[in-house]
Structures are given as structure tokens and as C-alpha cells.
Copies of this chain bind each other. A is one copy, B any other.
């Protein structure tokens, strides 16, 4: 299920893309057929739903403990009705200071952010907020395993990209997006499946093995 870095599929850029024929039709057909055979696909779930389901699976199977962080809220007013639970009547969204997900897997600290796009050829870097990039950089300094999960929903393709690459791209002057090719070249591609829905720990296993080879740990 885990596939490594693939050769680039040359999608034409621009808004006419959907009306053009793919450059290498037979390959795409084969890929489509293969997918139908072995995958349950993403079943219309958002990327967040897929990750939450995967985390639930990992938790139940005692494979990893990863949770999505709640949205930070500034609570101003709470009512305590009689014989009923407390109701928050006035509250405001606060700026988060971390990524959405973190947890522990075989002694390793995991930290990641998930983003999806309907784009077919690139991922706009403005989708990452400054606090997310800063947080990932800080966790990297503490030797956490930090990455992003990028979903190209129109293509049903999902990439686990090391935070180091995303941070570098984000910090590059005048760079507004990562191309699909760049993401393919620097990521582990994972296929949407059944249990877990999105087996992102297979990519983490790869990062851990690379780290072990490099004697970082």
C-alpha cells in the first residue's frame, strides 16, 4: 500500500486542465483500475475525517496514541441552567499556537498538520499559517518526527511530507506554492484504504528507518 516517490504525472496547469486529455492516458487508466481493485478509496470523507478515523484505529489497536487538538476558545460567559448542563453563551475563537495533531508512536513524538486542496498541479503555501510553520520548526529542533499530510482531493492522492521540506519551501522568497512534482519528489505517498483509512504511520516508519541509518537516534 505504501508507494515511494513516483515519476511525475505531467498535469497541464491552468484552469483548462480538466478539459484536456492526460498526457499519458494508458498509465492513468491502469492506475485507476488498480485502485478500484484494492482500495476502499476515501469514501467521500474529508482529509480530517480520514485522519481522525485512522487515529481511532491506531489507538484501538494500541499502535499509536495520536489526537487532534481541540480548537482553542476564549470563554466569556457560561450559563448554568438548573437540572441541565452548562451552556457557553459567549466565546471567541483564539489563534492556535501549534499544529492540529500530535502524539506518541514507539517512543517517538509525532507532530503534524493536514491540508487538502482541489488543485491538481500544486499546493499553495499560504495554506500553512505562520504559527504552524514555527511550531513544526520548534518540534524539529527537539527531534520530533514532524510532517504534513497533503491531500490532493481531485486526484485522490495523499502525501506525507517531512516538515523540513515544507518549512524550507515556505521560507523561500517569492515561492507561492509547492508543485505536485516537488511534493512527489520529497514525500511518501500513501493510499487511502480501509483500516486504517489513511495509513500515515507507514510513512513515519520510513522516516524512523532513515533516522536510524543516519544515527540520529
Residue ranges of A at the interface with B (Cβ–Cβ < 8 Å) = 59, 62, 64-65, 67, 69-73, 75, 85-94, 97-98, 102-109, 111, 135, 138-139, 141-144, 217
**Which B residues are CB-close (under 8 A) to A71?**
70, 73, 75
* A-B contact sample (10 more), CB < 8 A, given A88-B88, A107-B109, A107-B143: A65-B144, A67-B98, A70-B70, A70-B94, A71-B75, A89-B89, A91-B91, A102-B102, A104-B111, A106-B142
* Centre residue among A59, A65, A97, A141 by max chain B CB count within 10 A: A65
- In the complex the two chains form, is B92's CB within 8 Å of A87's CB? yes
**Which B residues are CB-close (under 8 A) to A111?**
104
Known pairs A88-B93, A90-B87; A142 contacts B67 (CB<8 A): no
